[in-house]
Amino acid sequence: MRGLSQRLGIAAVWGTLVMAGAVAGCSSMSSNHVDCNVVKLQQQAGRSDSEIASALGASVSDVSSCHGPEKSGNATSSGEPGPY
């Protein structure tokens, strides 16, 4: 009888770990961060902020936070290639 209860305990621990991993994986997928590169491409295609937000599953305020100057890359670049 002791062997059976020990096996059930081990199965319960494994089940708990699997469930915790599944919940942690799902929560990392539902981020409030919006990829501003995708938003910029969608804006260039003529889509409105509300259309983009609906397509990305984000809020309009998250999408509109991507407006403005680019925040990545070389901000001082004039767009011309450097000396090589």
**For 17-51, how does the pLDDT look when each residue is reduced to its tens digit (9 = 90+)?**
777 776 665 544 555 578 899 999 999 999 999 99
pTM, two decimals, is 0.45
Where is 17: in which H helix or E strand? helix 2-29
Q: Distance between alpha carbon 57 and the CA centroid of its chain, in Å? A: 11
Place of tokens 């983009």: 52
2 against 31, higher pLDDT: 2
81 against 44, higher pLDDT: 44
Domain regions of the chain by residue span: 34-68
Q: Give the C-alpha separation, 16 to 32, whole Å.
A: 27
Q: Which of 64, 40, 45, 44 is nearest to 53 (CA)?
A: 64
Per-residue pLDDT at 65 exceeds 50: yes
Mean pLDDT of the residues in the chain: 76
Q: Give the C-alpha separation, 75 to 6, whole Å.
A: 61
